[in-house]
Structure 1
Amino acid sequence: MSTDTSALPIRMLHDRVLVQLEGKEGERRSSAGIVIPATASMGRRLSWATAVGIGPNVRSIIIGDRVLFDPDDRSEVELHGKEYVLLRERDVHAVAASRVESDGTGLYL
C-alpha cells in the first residue's frame, strides 16, 4: 500500500517515526491459510509497519522502510481519515529494507 507522504500535514520532530500498519489489526492468517481471530490468546507479538514520516534525528530508518515494533508501546494518530502510529526510533526493534547489510551488527541507541 503506497502512501502519499507529501500530503501529510505535519513535519516530524526529533527522533520520531510515523508508521502505517500493514494489513488490518485483529484477525490474521497462518502460513497454511487458517484464520486466527483477534481474541486468540497469544504471547506478546510484535507488528510490522511502513515508515511514512521521519524526524531529522532519525539515523537508521528512511521513508518506505518496514519496521518491527511492539504494538503495546505506541501512540495512534489520525490524519486525513487514515490511522498512523507514532514511535520513537529507539522503540523500533528491527528495520527490513534492501539497503540493510546482512553482516552489520546494528546500531545501539
Structure 2
Amino acid sequence: MAAKRAKAGEGLPIRMLHDRVLVSLENEGERKSGGGILIPATAAVGKRLSWAGVVATGPSVRQVEVGDRVLFDAEDRHEVDLQSKDYVLLRERDIHAIAARRVEEDGTTGLYL
C-alpha cells in the first residue's frame, strides 16, 4: 500500500513511514471559555489535550486520514519544522479521538488494536 501524502496544495517534501501521523496544530494561543471569557495562553490550567489537523500519514495508519482533526496529549509530541512551519509528529496509537464526517457514517470505534 502506498503512503498517504500531504495534500497537494501544501507541497510538503515528506513521506511518512510506518504508523506515524504528521499534524498541524490549531490555535495554541489564547482561548475563549464557553461564556466568552478570554483565557491567555500563559494561564495555568490542568493537563489539556490538543486538537490538530492531519497533514500526512504513514502506510500503516488504519483509522486516520489526511484532513481529519485529531485529539492528542500535547506532552506526547515531537515537533518538527518543515518549510518554516511547525508540525507535530505522532504515532497513531497516541491519538485519543478523531473528528471527521466519515466517523459517523462507518460506525467504527477508533480503537487501536
Q: Does the alignment reach a TM-score above 0.5?
A: yes
Per the alignment, residue 69 of structure 1 pairs with 72
Q: Tell whether 2:63 aligns with 1:60.
A: yes
- Structure 1 residues 1-109: aligned runs within 5 Å: 5-6=7-8, 7-23=11-27, 25-101=28-104, 103-109=107-113
Alpha-carbon deviation of 1:39? 2.5
Task: Identify if the C-alpha distance between structure 1 residues 106 and 41 changes in structure 2 by more than 3 Å, giving closer, same or farther.
Answer: same
Q: Paired residues, what number?
A: 105
SS in 2 for 1:99: helix
Unaligned runs of 5+ in 1: none
Percent same amino acid among aligned pairs?
67
Q: Distance in 2 between matches of 1:18 and 1:88?
A: 9
Matched residue type, 1:10: I
Asked if the contact 2:97–2:110 (Cα under 8 Å) also holds between the matched residues in 1, the reply is: no
Give the ranges of 4+ consecutive aligned residues of structure 1 lying more than 4 Å apart after TM superposition. Answer: none
Q: Distance in 1 between matches of 2:40 and 2:26?
A: 17
Per the alignment, residue 3 of structure 2 pairs with none
Answer 1 or 2: which has greater helix percent. Answer: 2
The alignment's C-alpha RMSD in Å is: 1.6
Cα deviations by residue, 1:72-107 (Å, 9 ceiling, x for unpaired): 110011111111000000000000100003754332
Unaligned runs of 5+ in 2: 1-5
Q: Distance in 1 between matches of 2:112 and 2:83?
A: 35
Asked if the contact 2:98–2:110 (Cα under 8 Å) also holds between the matched residues in 1, the reply is: no
TM-score (norm 2): 0.84
SS in 2 for 1:90: helix
Cα deviations by residue, 1:29-88 (Å, 9 ceiling, x for unpaired): 112221112222211100000000000000000000000000111001111111100000
